[in-house]
């Protein structure tokens, strides 16, 4: 039973890590290069927005799991959750790609985008494999095989976040991207 709760919580941890620098970044997509302060401000706002979205998604998943009376309902709740994560990730990548970061954040921004793309590829594979799952034990097996990959994807995104935070700190900009939280 603990294993069944641990794996969804691990997925939720990835969502929160991914949410660290997520959607609502918008702006700068008009071709105008953002100042470092504008760029970091958008990332702070994005973190708060993504955190709210991922929290809501996690709450929906918890309720759906608790009310599931059959394995089919439980698997469907998991699929809905995983698809919700995929949608958040897609929005993040789109939003990050719409930004025109300042030169001093360009390398860190590119790493952030690459980390997201890597995580999304992992997730797309997972979504595909989950389509063949029919029982909770099959889902547990699939999820347990994903533990290390989730951890690595979250760590890569955290590293990109820490690089952004370091840039802000070095430039004396008051920003708290809440990396790793």
pLDDT tens, position by position, for the chain (181 residues)? Answer: 344 444 454 455 555 455 545 433 444 455 678 999 999 888 787 777 777 888 899 999 999 999 999 999 999 999 999 999 888 888 888 888 878 899 999 999 999 889 989 999 988 988 899 999 999 899 888 888 888 888 899 899 999 989 999 999 999 999 888 887 6
Give me the DSSP letters along 73-119: HHHHHHHHHHHHHHHHHHHHHHHHHH----HHHHHHHHHHHHHHHHH
- CA geometry: angle at 146 spanning 144 and 150, to 5°? 125
The model's pTM is 0.78
Q: Would you kindly state where each structural domain of the chain is located, as residue ranges?
A: 2-170
Could you tell me the CA-to-CA distances from 43 to 37, 56, 116, 143, 158 in Å, in that order? 10, 20, 14, 30, 13
Q: Indicate the angle between helix axes 2-19 and 71-98, nearest 10 degrees.
A: 20
């Amino acid at each position: 039973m603990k294993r069944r709760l641990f794996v969804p919580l691990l997925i939720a941890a990835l969502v929160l890590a991914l949410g660290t620098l997520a959607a609502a970044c918008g702006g700068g997509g008009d071709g105008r290069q953002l100042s470092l302060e504008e760029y970091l401000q958008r990332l702070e706002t994005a973190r708060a927005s993504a955190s709210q979205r991922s929290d809501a998604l996690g709450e929906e998943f918890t309720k759906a799991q608790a009310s599931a009376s059959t394995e089919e309902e439980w698997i469907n709740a998991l699929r809905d959750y995983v698809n919700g994560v995929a949608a958040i990730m897609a929005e993040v990548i789109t939003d990050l790609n719409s930004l025109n970061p300042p030169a001093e954040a360009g390398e860190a921004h590119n790493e952030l985008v690459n980390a997201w793309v890597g995580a999304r590829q992992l997730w797309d594979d997972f979504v595909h494999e989950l389509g063949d799952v029919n029982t909770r034990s099959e889902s547990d097996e699939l999820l347990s095989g994903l533990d290390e990959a989730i951890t690595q994807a979250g760590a890569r995104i955290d590293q990109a976040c820490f690089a952004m935070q370091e840039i802000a700190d070095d430039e004396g900009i008051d920003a708290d991207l809440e990396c790793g939280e």
